[in-house]
């Protein structure tokens, strides 16, 4: 169910144990071949597919699409807000949800730059609302093992505007992908302890801008390996994992 499509009376009649989901996304550069709203489209796509399976199992809030993308600001078109702004804004939305009596809340994240502040939201909101349960899900983390079997390239082929994101956009909206501009692999490695990709974390974290990680291309990974078929497989894997997790929240 979509929160904003219901009436006030219909919201009031709902079982307050129903899980409530908020997508946090991004409007930022995605290389020469993908539109700025890629992360927002991907988040909306997963939740749309999830909702279509059974609209009564969760309540989906309007997404927050402009989030924490300062590390992309070397590239034109990127929109960003400060971490403190995002923390306050998302927390205020969740405070409203809790004020209406809903007690099971999930942040569904579709942008890497939101992971750290998303966890702060969970910790700060959860500590102040002990009667609520709140969790953070990032789409590529909730099913990393299964997604690794779909990946065509090796370590580093998935990251940003990459094999996975390009595949998803080919599946969601092929016309939005500038096929003639899809580049080859790009991933500037750093210290071994800090190297990572979408599915594999490093032993530690090291701040680098997207311009540094991508060598100026805006792409981290290998979008030339993308296909709509992979996008369909990724969708099934992620929505299956999301469905399983949401079921544990009620």
Residue among 164, 145, 139, 156 at smallest CA distance from 195: 156
194 confidence band (pLDDT: 50, 70, 90):
very high
Per-residue DSSP letter, 32? T
pLDDT of 14 strictly over 90:
yes
Give SS3 for 7.
coil
Report the C-alpha gap between 170 and 187 in whole angstroms. 22
Report the C-alpha gap between 216 and 186 in whole angstroms. 9
Q: What is the pLDDT of residues 147-191, one digit of tens each?
A: 999 999 999 999 999 999 999 999 999 999 999 999 999 999 999
E strand or H helix at 60, and its extent? Answer: strand 59-60
- Give how far Cα 50 sits from Cα of 1, 42, 81, 123, 235, Å: 10, 12, 28, 26, 10
Q: What is the pLDDT of residues 27-52, one digit of tens each?
A: 999 999 999 999 999 999 999 999 99
User: In the predicted model, what is the mean pLDDT of the chain?
Assistant: 97
pLDDT at 250: 81
pLDDT of 81 strictly over 90:
yes
15 confidence band (pLDDT: 50, 70, 90):
very high
Average pLDDT over residues 70-77: 98
Question: Could you give the domains of the chain?
Answer: 3-247 (3.40.50.10310)
32 within 8 A of 183, measured Cβ to Cβ = yes
Report the C-alpha gap between 163 and 227 in whole angstroms. 8
211 within 8 A of 76, measured Cβ to Cβ = no
């Amino acid at each position: 169910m979509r929160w904003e499509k219901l009436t006030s009376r219909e919201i009031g009649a709902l079982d307050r144990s129903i899980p409530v989901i908020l997508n946090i996304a991004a409007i930022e550069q995605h290389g020469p071949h993908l539109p700025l709203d890629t992360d927002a489209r991907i988040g909306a796509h997963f939740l749309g597919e999830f909702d279509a399976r059974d609209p009564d199992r969760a309540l989906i809030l309007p997404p927050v699409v402009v989030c924490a993308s300062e590390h992309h600001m070397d590239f034109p078109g990127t929109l960003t807000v400060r971490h403190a702004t995002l923390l306050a804004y998302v927390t205020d939305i969740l405070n409203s949800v809790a004020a209406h009596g809903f007690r099971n809340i999930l942040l569904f994240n579709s942008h890497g730059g939101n992971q750290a502040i998303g966890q702060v939201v969970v910790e700060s909101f959860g500590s102040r609302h002990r009667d609520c349960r709140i969790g953070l899900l990032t789409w590529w983390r909730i099913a990393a093992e299964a997604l690794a079997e779909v990946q065509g390239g090796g370590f580093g082929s998935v990251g940003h505007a990459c094999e996975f994101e390009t595949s998803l956009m080919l599946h969601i909206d092929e016309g939005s992908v500038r096929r003639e501009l899809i580049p080859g692999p790009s991933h500037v490695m750093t210290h071994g302890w800090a190297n990572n990709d979408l599915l594999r974390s490093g032993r530690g974290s090291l701040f680098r801008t997207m311009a540094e990680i991508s060598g100026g291309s805006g792409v981290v990974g290998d979008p030339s390996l993308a296909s709509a078929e992979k996008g369909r497989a990724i969708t099934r894997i992620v929505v299956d994992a999301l469905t399983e997790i949401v079921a544990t929240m009620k």
